[in-house]
Amino acid sequence: MQEEVLRELATSLRGELEQIIGDEDERMALAAELDAALALPAGEAGLKLIATLRARPQTREWVATRIDAGEPETWRMFAVPPGVIIAPLRVHVVCPRCDYDRFFVSPGEDFGRCPRHGLRLVPAED
């Protein structure tokens, strides 16, 4: 997911916090986290935004209703039910033809190609 999209999500969320987080202290804490993430320079805010958007079940649910289900990796990242332990934020990609693989920290990155086959790497089924 691109940082630009994450920024838009975080900004909309910021404007709807009263409907999303009932507890005032919790709401203030989240607002501060969102502001801190949004204040980061372009290109550096992605992971912090993802972490902030995923940190609470309410925000995960909110995000899950707003992102395109056509982006399965991203959707799965946010649509996990509350209480489920979330896997570390890593994307495992493989060559469709051989066992070449790589790990990416951010799902927004270009996964690149297999050096042997030149095929575009795809998310692994694991």
Applying CB under 5 A, the residues found at the interface with Zn ion are 95, 97-98, 100, 114, 116-117
Q: CA 77, CA 97: separation in Å to the nearest integer?
A: 26
In whole angstroms, the minimum distance from the beta carbon of 92 to Zn ion comes to 15
Identify the bridge partners of residue 93 per DSSP, sorted by sequence position. Answer: 102, 123
DSSP 86: P
Q: CA 81, CA 73: separation in Å to the nearest integer?
A: 15
CB atoms inside a 10 Å sphere around CB 120: 13
In whole angstroms, the minimum distance from the beta carbon of 91 to Zn ion comes to 17
Q: Which is nearer to Zn ion, 66 or 116 (CB)?
A: 116
Q: Which is nearer to Zn ion, 53 or 95 (CB)?
A: 95
Token reading at 72: 């399965």
Q: Which is nearer to Zn ion, 99 or 126 (CB)?
A: 99
In whole angstroms, the minimum distance from the beta carbon of 113 to Zn ion comes to 9
